[in-house]
Amino acid sequence: MPSTPTHAMSSGLQAVIDLLELERIDDNLFRGESHDIGAPQVFGGQILGQALVAAGRTVDGRPPHSLHAYFLRRGDFNHPVIYQVERARDGGSYSNRRVVAIQHGRPILNLAASFHDGDPGFDHQADMPEVPGPDGLPSTQDLHRGIADRVPAKLKRLLEHKPPFELRPVETPKFIDPAVRPPRKHIWMRAWDKLADDPALHRHLLAYVSDYELLGTATFPHELDFLKRPVQMASLDHALWFHRPVRVDDWLLYACDSPSNAEGRGFARGQIFSRDGCLVASVAQEGVIRPLDDGR
């Protein structure tokens, strides 16, 4: 049985864990609740995490090694989400599932996930970037408080939301320093509290948090002041590969870069390392990024 932490858990983290406890409606049908993080739509990481949970509920004994998803429509956080799972394949070593997330009778996300027992084989990984550790770095919450009096009302509501993870950026965030810079950034992240020793829970929460911070990397080479001019940013797709076991209640380094931004779409990649340098996951995402005219 997984061990359970003995102390009270922060409400934000517990709320996300509760969101990942889907209700089974039928053999391949699940329902998940939503919550409001201050954005006009459901947070994409929530839909990713819940869709992965739904897929995993139909697989026996195999952990996920990858997922690929397309965001189709904005989610409505005032209503639950239905997850319909198709058992595409169960082979000798791999299982594949397709999931459609549905709200108001329409799909809002398509996801494919692959599951694998794990086999012996070759082993290598990329080196962890040499950056300052998390100790002594300010959190995003600390940085948000420093600009609270200058933030437009819509953005302020989002920035005031306490995420379930503590986030400590190595570089100055774009919303504080709009100057042009190389499209690379690094951010330390960990869950606010210790978690049960349940590998599935840690993978699901990693899927959730992998949608934080990544796409914004594609804005770094451009002089954008988020406090003065609105910018539309929305995820179009998301891919995540689980390489090695992970604990999200220990510090993880999210190393992000953006090789391209063109035709209203930014592309960003991420590597997630444990504090001791183990590459635990890789991420890729493309999204809409375009400045908006006043009143648009």
- Has 285 been annotated as catalytic? yes
3-state SS, 150-216, equals HCCHHHHHHHCCCCCEEEEECCCCCCCCCCCCCCEEEEEEEECCCCCCCHHHHHHHHHHHCCCCCHH
User: What H or E segment, with its residue span, contains residue 39?
Assistant: none
Which residue among 34, 114, 211, 271 is the active-site one?
A: 211
DSSP string across 82-149: EEEEEEEEE-SSEEEEEEEEEETTEEEEEEEEEEE---------PPPP----STTPPPHHHHHHHTGG
- Has 235 been annotated as catalytic? yes
Which residue among 210, 235, 258, 282 is the active-site one?
A: 235
Give CA separation, 289 vs 216, 230, 231, in Å: 9, 11, 7
Question: Catalytic residue positions?
Answer: 211, 235, 285
